[in-house]
């Protein structure tokens, strides 16, 4: 796929100003087993990754040894600029497919490019012929998410700790006005009792939901106000320098298109809404 445009401008206009960002997000396939979305098709979509063994996804040994290829970054940056696109490319990491690189850029979902940096490629690249099909981007996607989520300050999240031993931690992009988010929140006691700590990140799905999410994050007792908002009640608070829009941009860069979007500490996205028992199973708790 080939796209054109300019710098991502997160949330206030819902990424709509950027043609490249908009085109990439509209084409992105995201795991939304059960969740709320601005697009009805997104809310009911399921991932096509079940045809591959994501657990076997791997990166080339060259990734660890060499890291990002500066020449590819420079070439891609130059080609984008020639096309009138002012994007900041962070890295271009070689994959197991010869001549194909995994690119991360500020404010955009990660994508593939070739060695010349002349092509933007989205979607899965599946390796076959050596046993089960393997999504070669799987580990790269997870690593990008793992690093990005790990960098979020805990004070900027709303955390529901595990009861007793913490067996697993999940990050959940959430919207107080999303029905599936509310279903997940209704099971919070059960989730926490199973040893799962839930770290909420803000991802309002519409302009109308932003003030409510801002109010939650600006409240003195965020957990109490979140609990109230998840029942459908209106909540208010004095304005503050909240992380809501930053977290919206983070979600967009990780390919979030619906809520809840749940990620493990290792960066794997395990789906949308899952009942407590299924969530525990998804994160490896028996």
The tokens describing 232, both together, are: 């459908």
Active site residue 114: no
Active site residue 175: yes
Of the candidates 14, 143, 205, 257, the residue annotated as catalytic is 205
Of the candidates 175, 177, 182, 199, the residue annotated as catalytic is 175
Residue reference for tokens 């080339």: 60
Question: How many CA within 13 A on the CB side of residue 214?
Answer: 16
In terms of phi and psi (left: phi > 0; alpha: psi -120 to 50; beta: otherwise), the region of 12 is alpha
CA distance 258 to 36: 5
Of the candidates 181, 194, 218, 257, the residue annotated as catalytic is 181
Active site residue 181: yes
* Terminal Cα-to-Cα distance of the chain (whole angstroms): 42
Q: Collect all residues with Cβ–Cβ distance below 8 Å to 181 and sequence separation of at least 6.
A: 35, 36, 172, 174, 175, 230, 259, 260, 273
The tokens describing 74, both together, are: 């420079």
The tokens describing 202, both together, are: 């803000």
Q: What is the DSSP letter of 13?
A: G
Q: What is the DSSP letter of 81?
A: H
95: nearest Cα among 126, 128, 133: 126
Of the candidates 36, 178, 182, 199, the residue annotated as catalytic is 178
Query: Using a CB cutoff of 8 Å and minimum separation of 24, what contacts does 42-50 make?
Result: 42/257, 42/258, 43/258, 48/124, 49/124, 49/135, 49/138
Active site residue 178: yes
- The catalytic site residues sit at 175, 178, 181, 205
């Amino acid at each position: 796929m080939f796209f054109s445009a300019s710098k991502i401008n997160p949330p206030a206009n819902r990424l709509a100003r950027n043609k490249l960002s908009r085109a990439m997000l509209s084409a992105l396939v995201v795991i939304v087993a059960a969740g709320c979305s601005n697009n009805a098709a997104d809310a009911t979509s399921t991932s096509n990754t079940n045809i591959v063994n994501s657990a076997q996804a791997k990166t080339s040994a060259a990734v660890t040894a060499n890291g990002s290829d500066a020449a590819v970054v420079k070439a891609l940056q130059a080609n984008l600029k020639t096309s009138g696109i002012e994007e900041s490319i962070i890295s271009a990491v070689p994959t197991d497919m010869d001549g194909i690189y995994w690119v991360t850029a500020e404010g955009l979902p990660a994508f593939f490019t070739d060695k010349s940096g002349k092509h933007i490629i989205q979607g899965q690249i599946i390796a076959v012929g050596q046993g089960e099909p393997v999504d070669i981007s799987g580990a790269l996607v997870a690593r990008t998410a793992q690093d990005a989520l790990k960098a979020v300050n805990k004070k900027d999240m709303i955390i529901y700790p595990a009861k007793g031993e913490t067996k697993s931690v999940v990050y959940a992009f959430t919207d107080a006005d999303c029905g599936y988010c509310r279903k997940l929140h209704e099971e919070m006691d059960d989730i926490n009792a199973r040893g799962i700590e839930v770290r909420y990140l803000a991802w309002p799905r519409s302009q109308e939901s932003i003030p409510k999410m801002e109010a939650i994050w600006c409240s003195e007792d965020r957990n109490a106000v979140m609990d109230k908002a998840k029942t459908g009640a209106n909540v208010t608070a004095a304005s503050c320098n909240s992380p809501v829009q930053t977290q919206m941009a983070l979600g967009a860069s990780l390919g979030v298109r619906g809520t809840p979007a749940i990620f493990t500490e290792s960066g794997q996205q395990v789906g949308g809404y899952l009942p407590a028992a299924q969530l525990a199973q998804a994160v490896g708790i028996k």
